[in-house]
Amino acid sequence: MARGIERRVIFKDDKDRQSFLDRMAEVLDETQTQCYAFALIPNHFHALLRTGPTPLSKVMRRLMTGHAVYFNHRHKRCGHLFQNRYKSIVCEEDEYLLELVRYIHLNPLRAGLVEDFKELDKYPWTGHSCMLGRSKNRLIPEKIDESGNGDEPEKTLAEKTVEDLLLHFGNTLKAARREYREFVKKGVAQGARPDLQGGGLVRSAGGDASILYAKHKEDRELADARILGSGGFVLATLQQSDSHLLKKYLPKRRIEELIEFVAEKFQIEPELICSGSRKKDVSEARAMVAYMAVEETGHRMSDVARILGVKRVSVYNAVEKRKRLLEVR
């Protein structure tokens, strides 16, 4: 979520809102970042994102900087548009995904931008109307099909995300939309939901500290204000964060050294690893270099991709695949 500086508006009219969503669609598609819910309020916005190969910081920087430049130029102003950095909370998916979708999509109603729930169904500046099929998916980037062969275009990530979300509510599109709408409607009576506005055990207890402190200290779960989830999820997230921090400051073997090391193990020439060859042994060696460079020596994916001559998403996929294989073993 991000708010305008001094709580000033960041969207003055529909043209501002449309420009923001056009930019958001492009950034999310290019970075392969999924957006499950969004809401544009005059002086702030909310988004529920699942990051892909590109770090959230880079996604948000592109989105917010681009909108600030556009907004300042259009409205003949200068200076900062947003209040400091965006605020982000890591969320436990199984527990909070649907609750957060409902909470975010109800924001325009809570803010008084629409009179009632029926009007919210048609409100175009949140993902709710798209989920119901009453407006187009505004997070689909406007791309021209260059295939020229008349084939059915492949579904975009934004389309797949809506389909995945609706599967939580039913097996058919009609039934899923009906159940989704009922689910969101039930949230109207729940009000502001302080338990969904940030991490920490007090908020997870619905904002009632007495519920938390009635427990013995040793029975209280681990908490962190930046994380929304159970004690176990908080612990796992902090451990992962510590691991990333440790790798950041590890003495690094140069990527070129790793290429030579892996090439020797695979008995191939080092130049082949960076050649773009799709031969099985070369691809496996390239994936091994990517994994070792990112996970074991802390190099940035962008640097690894540049030296290997591949896209950043290819490095990400190679690392994730290797991690899954190691988990199975």
pLDDT value of residue 153: 73
- What the chain holds in terms of domains, given with CATH numbers, is 2-142+154-189 (3.30.70), 220-249 (no CATH), 255-328 (1.10.1750.10)
Closest C-alpha to 273, from 226, 230, 321, 318: 318
Identify the residue with better confidence: 147 or 273.
273
**Cβ neighbours of residue 276 under 8 Å, at least 6 residues apart?**
309, 310
Tell whether the model's pLDDT for residue 273 goes beyond 90: yes
Tell whether the model's pLDDT for residue 301 goes beyond 70: yes
Identify the residue with better confidence: 226 or 103.
103
Q: Beta 34-41 vs 44-50: how paired, if at all?
A: antiparallel
Identify the residue with better confidence: 189 or 242.
189
pLDDT value of residue 214: 46
Highest mean pLDDT among 154-163, 216-225, 243-252: 154-163
Residues making up the chain, counted from first to last: 329
Share of the chain above pLDDT 70, in %: 76
Among the residue ranges 77-81, 225-229, 282-286, 318-322, the one predicted with the least confidence is: 225-229
pLDDT value of residue 202: 43
pLDDT value of residue 209: 43
pLDDT value of residue 237: 60
Tell whether the model's pLDDT for residue 146 goes beyond 50: no
Q: Is the distance from CB of 247 to CB of 219 less than 8 angstroms?
A: no
pLDDT value of residue 86: 87
pLDDT tens figures, 153-200: 788 999 999 999 999 999 899 999 999 999 999 998 876 666 565 544
At 230, list the tokens: 């159970």
Q: Is the distance from CB of 153 to CB of 145 less than 8 angstroms?
A: yes
Closest C-alpha to 195, from 170, 229, 166: 229
Tell whether the model's pLDDT for residue 79 goes beyond 70: yes
Identify the residue with better confidence: 41 or 208.
41
